[in-house]
Amino acid sequence: MLAGPAWPHSTPPDHGPDMTLDRIAQDLFSALRFYSRLPTPAPADAAELWAAPDMDRIAYAIPLAGAVMGLLGGAVLVLAAWAGLPEFLCATLAFTILVLASGAMHEDGLADTADGWGGGRDAEHRLMIMRDSRLGTFGVTALILSLLLRIGAVMALMAAFSPIQAAFALVAACAASRATGILMLRALPSARKDGASATFGQPSHKAALSCALMAAFIAALLLVPLFGLAAAVSGLALCIAVIYMMAGISRRMLGGQTGDVAGATQQISEIAFLLAVLILA
């Protein structure tokens, strides 16, 4: 039986003044700079442009960044449908924009995790495979299935409801699934002494909570009026289930988590969220 994640408690550091619109905008831009390739205003301190973001500070803004990217995909979905393109092409174009906007960051994590978990002999060997930039059979298969499942879910939402409703579901899925990556980093210690996950460290309890609450707020705001409370709750519940599942497997396979595992968790959560909305709406 898979063990669930451990949630250690810590006192988060003080990150300065109370929240303001300027602070929210700065944190959103910082999250977008890290999680996407979208152009953003340059920070006041030029060094911040290339520095690793403070995850404890921007954690709440990560679902917002996911929603921004989801809006791009949703807008393409609606425009393609308005142009009369078939549902398959509409959904495929939407995810093409999402992959371009994110630089395939999470897809890369999914492929590396699938290769490591599927082909490694032990934890050390799996971590070595995950660090290799070359793709194997497990990684390619995982990418194909991930894209097919997400495209198929959005197509089904378009057919069952409307392109606009499908677009809102996509935005909510992008926001909620981005939060699961941060919660995965919180759930387990880093499996490596170096790498992105070890560099950022585990987010504080307060940061993880703020990220989860923002994701839940965005999902409820977008889904409850269009699909009902059950769809929103089930989508979020499945995201939580994915975190526990991935944390249990990652603990057994690697002895902790990595940035790749966080990316894989986001991908699987996005699929689960979309399927939950489709089934429960």
Q: Which value, in Å, is the radius of gyration of the alpha carbons in the chain? A: 18
6 has pLDDT over 80: no
DSSP states of 232-260: HHHHHHHHHHHHHHHHHHHHHHHSSB-HH
Amino acid at 107: E
Torsion angle, CA of 180/183/189/194, rounded to 10 degrees? 60
Name the average pLDDT for the chain. Answer: 89
Query: Which residue matches tokens 């590396």?
Result: 112
Query: Which residue matches tokens 């519940």?
Result: 237
pTM for the complete prediction? 0.88
- Longest CA–CA separation in the chain, Å: 53
Residues 168-188 have pLDDT tens digits of 999 999 999 999 999 999 999
Residues 198-248 have pLDDT tens digits of 566 688 899 999 999 999 999 999 999 999 999 999 999 999 999 999 999
